Amino acid sequence: MNEAANSNNQAQSFDMRKDDAGWTVYDIATYEPARVNGVPQTGLSIEVADDLVDLLNTLAREKNESTGH
């Protein structure tokens, strides 16, 4: 299996859900909104939320790989 297929099969750390003001990016382990520089990521456009989920999952995956988990 190639590396791209492997990365798609890895568990996600973040996902998005609809909220009253748009979309919330949240930590799937705690169901709490993700925070960037202390700011909860709520009320986002769908495009921004989708991009942020991808970015945060990539960063989490890289962190796990660098720590050997």
Query: Which pLDDT tens digit goes with each residue over 13-48?
Result: 999 999 999 999 999 999 999 999 999 999 999 999
Gap between the Cα atoms of 32 and 5, Å rounded: 28
DSSP state of 45: -
Radius of gyration in angstroms for the set of CA atoms belonging to the chain, rounded to a whole number: 13
- pLDDT of 64: 86
Helix H or strand E encompassing 56: helix 46-66
Written as six digits, the tokens of 12 are 């996600």
Pairing of strands 35-36, 22-27: unpaired
Would you say 52 and 27 are in contact if contact means Cβ atoms under 8 Å apart?
Answer: no
In this prediction the pTM is: 0.79
